[in-house]
Amino acid sequence: MTSIIHGDSNNIVNVNYVQTMAPLYPHATLTVLPGGGHGFEGQNELDALAYTYAFIMNHIVE
């Protein structure tokens, strides 16, 4: 399983690239954070941590 979390305001890696590449990874989930830049801060950081925690609990921890 692979979790990809990306901000739609990332000015270094455009979200279109990630949306194109994510389907090429088997079993990947893509979460796009509205307003998220390159490196998450504030609420985007908290959201990314919450998505990461949920992914680990749902896919890795038994």
The per-residue pLDDT for range 4-62, each reduced to its tens digit, is 999 999 999 999 999 999 999 999 999 999 999 998 999 999 999 999 999 999 988 76
**3 state SS of 30:** strand
Q: Which two tokens stand for residue 36?
A: 């998220």
Total domains in the fold of the chain:
1
Whole-prediction pTM value?
A: 0.86
**3 state SS of 38:** coil
pLDDT of residue 9: 95
Domain that residue 53 falls in: 2-59
pLDDT of residue 59: 87
